[in-house]
Amino acid sequence: MDTTALANLLFPDITKTIEDYEAQYPPRNLPEGAVVTRIAPSPTGFVHLGNLYNAIGERLAHQTGGVFYLRIEDTDQKREVEGAVEAVIDAMNFYGVHFDEGATVDGETGAYGPYRQRQRKELYQTVAKSLVLRGLAYPCFCTEDDLKAMHEQQEAGKENYGYYGKYAVWRDRSYDDIAAEIAKGTEWVLRFRSEGDPENSVAVLDGIRGEVHVQENFTDFVLLKSDGIPTYHFAHVCDDHFMRTTHVIRDESWLATLPIHVQLFDILGWQRPIYCHTATLMKMDGSSKRKLSKRKDPELALSFYRQAGIPQEATWLYLLTVLNSNFEEWHLANPDASSREFTFSLEKMGTSGSLFDLEKLDNIAKEYLSRQTTDLVYDGLLAWAKEYDPALAARMTEKEALYRGAIGVGRGGEKPRKDYGSWRDAAAFLAFYDAETFTLTDGCPENADGENRRDILNRYLETLDFADTQETWFAKVKELTDALGYAVQPKKYKKNPEDYKGSIVDVTNLLRVALTGRQNAPDIWEISHVLGETETRRRLEAYRDAQ
């Protein structure tokens, strides 16, 4: 076969060579050990947790003085949606992940672009042409139906799937046969001519998993599709080579096609990057584990966490807890340190199905928020509300002191309250402070209802003095409890219920319901001071007079 004639027949317009691109994209001038890595999402509009998960590469790059960039893998035009690039950038920004180079909303920055694959067609075709020249690639004119028939035959014969051996019907066709098809205008794809043997195994060093052994690729896989656009496999190899990527951090589902990728790197004489295959995100479904699914699990979408108002740092704390085996320990030892201070290492990443658990995330988020200042919580809630609950944002701005006071209740000290782990939950939790959103959620404790309710509230109102300290206030509550026939010590009431109307718990729960609408609420004295005397009295009177 005259490969030069074939290369020119297939790629008449390609005049550049690989060397031209080598010169255009020289090795990066970075310190020894610097990591160059990227995320490479497809612009489908769906930014998923895995994108953030793999953006952990940003830590590695920046910890080592390297580069983190964004490449848009838009080879599948059918799946592309408008605004998808903005969505990725916006989501990453939101989580504090910043790119040094790559695609931007209105273009790109960096010397290794273009960073959108469809704009790199000439580069892929140049590499493809070089493979044809070397006799390592050839066109295939099989139709979808041909390939389907091949697959069925392989299935029936329990043979390896793929285009190889006797199934590779275009592998050794003559130049004339090929030229005749091209002259007819028959569509073709470009296939790699593999010399691999399924009996061979190839060792690949994985940054997370250590040395992995994969079966050598023996199929003549597709390099370029019929529109001249590359497959993921071919594009990934060309791009990560010419963008001088040192680490390819991607989901473990790519382990299956790793043999193809290393074969291409090797045959092209390019240094393989360090592959880092991250564990697939899983969840418990009943008693079995399964992959998180776009269709079934809203929590796979990154927007889920933002909408719910889970603070970014809490999301990171959770992600790192799930991803890195040494993170939890570090965090326990440094509870107030930012997760960014943690030195991230690939070797400590999990290798099998990371289990996602929203309850654990909520606990981490509650713990995190309980340790934050009133200012941070107020600002975080307001920022979230501006986007997702404008009415709340307006109330917060109008009644800033009330909301700050409410957020401050139970904050600080040895055992801060952990009432909410998200801004959405905070909004619901804090609603009772604001007269506009106050609602009676719980009923009156039975032992303190009817006549007793009136008596207790009347007496409480009479003795209530906002100048009292918390201790004096509580002494008065105890006095009232005793005077009205309730047990000051709940134990005593439990032992001899017939001697009392109820216990101090009934009295305080009544006050809580009157003031907050709920039996389970923070400290009454603190709440009253946030509400102020007028509002406190108004609520107590209203509850006393309510039926």
Query: Contact 253/280 with Cβ under 8 angstroms?
Result: yes
Residues in the chain: 547
Nearer to ligand GLU, 41 or 196 (CB): 41
Round to whole Å and give the CA distance between 538 and 463.
Answer: 15
CB–CB of 130/190 below 8 Å? no
Angle at the Cα of 360 from the Cα atoms of 415 and 364, rounded to 5 degrees = 40
Q: Which is nearer to ligand GLU, 240 or 425 (CB)?
A: 240
Q: Which is nearer to ligand GLU, 248 or 310 (CB)?
A: 248
Number of DSSP helices (H) and strands (E) in the chain, helices first = 24, 16
| 309 and 360 Cβ atoms separated by less than 8 Å | no
Whole-angstrom distance, CA of residue 225 vs CA of residue 125: 11
* CA 13 to centroid of chain Cα atoms: 43
Smallest distance, ligand GLU to C-beta of residue 275, A: 9
Nearest to 356 by CA among 392, 322, 395: 322
| DSSP string over 456-493 | HHHHHHHH--TTS-HHHHHHHHHHHHHHTTEESSHHHH
Within 10 angstroms of residue 80's Cβ, the number of other Cβ atoms is 16
Q: C-beta of 253: minimal distance to ligand GLU in Å?
A: 8
CB of 405 to ligand GLU, least distance (A): 47
- Pick the closest to residue 255 from 281, 280, 235 (CA basis): 280
Closest CB to ligand GLU among residues 73, 108 = 73
Query: What are the residues whose beta carbons fall under 8 Å from the beta carbon of 17, sequence distance 6 or more?
Result: 126, 130
| Least spacing, CB of residue 236 vs ligand GLU, in Å | 5
Which CB sits closer to ligand GLU, 190 or 235? Answer: 235
Nearest of 6, 415, 366, 31 to residue 175 by alpha carbon: 6
Sequential DSSP letters for 323-336: HBTTHHHHHHHSTT
DSSP state of 406: H
* Pairing state between β 354-356 and 36-39: unpaired
Quick one: tokens of 25? 């994209």
Compute the least distance from the CB of residue 250 to ligand GLU, in Å.
4
* Least CB distance to ligand GLU at residue 249 (A): 7
CB of 504 to ligand GLU, least distance (A): 60
Q: Which is nearer to ligand GLU, 41 or 380 (CB)?
A: 41
If the CB atoms of residues 59 and 250 are measured against ligand GLU, the closer one turns out to be: 250
Report, in Å, the least distance between residue 73 CB and ligand GLU.
4
| Least distance CB 42 / ligand GLU (angstroms) | 5
DSSP structural state of residue 77: G
Nearest residue (CB) to ligand GLU, 54 versus 339? 54
User: Minimum CB separation from ligand GLU for residue 380, in Å?
Assistant: 30
CB 306, min distance to ligand GLU, A? 20
Q: Report CA 293 to chain centroid distance, whole Å.
A: 13
Task: Specify the residue, 43 or 522, whose C-beta has the smaller distance to ligand GLU.
Answer: 43
CA 264/CA 261 separation, integer angstroms: 5
Decide whether 39 or 320 has the Cβ nearer to ligand GLU.
39
Q: How far apart are the first and last CA of the chain?
A: 97
Q: How far is the CB of 137 from ligand GLU (least distance, A)?
A: 21
Cα–Cα distance for residue pair 447/506, rounded to 1 Å:
6
The letter for the amino acid at 425 is D
Residues in contact with ligand GLU by the rule CB under 6 A: 40-42, 73, 236, 248, 250
Question: 89 or 448: whose CB is closer to ligand GLU?
Answer: 89
Tell me whether residue 42 or residue 119 sits nearer to ligand GLU (CB atom).
Answer: 42
| Residues 514/539, Cβ–Cβ less than 8 Å | yes
CB of 239 to ligand GLU, least distance (A): 9
Question: Among residues 73 and 419, whose Cβ is nearest to ligand GLU?
Answer: 73
CA distance 395 to 403: 9
CA distance 69 to 54: 12
Preceding amide of 26 cis, omega within 30: no
Q: CB of 387 within 8 A of CB of 376?
A: no
Q: Is 419 left (phi over 0), alpha (psi -120 to 50) or beta?
A: alpha
Q: Please, what is the minimum distance in Å from the beta carbon of residue 312 to ligand GLU?
A: 22
Q: Which is nearer to ligand GLU, 40 or 407 (CB)?
A: 40
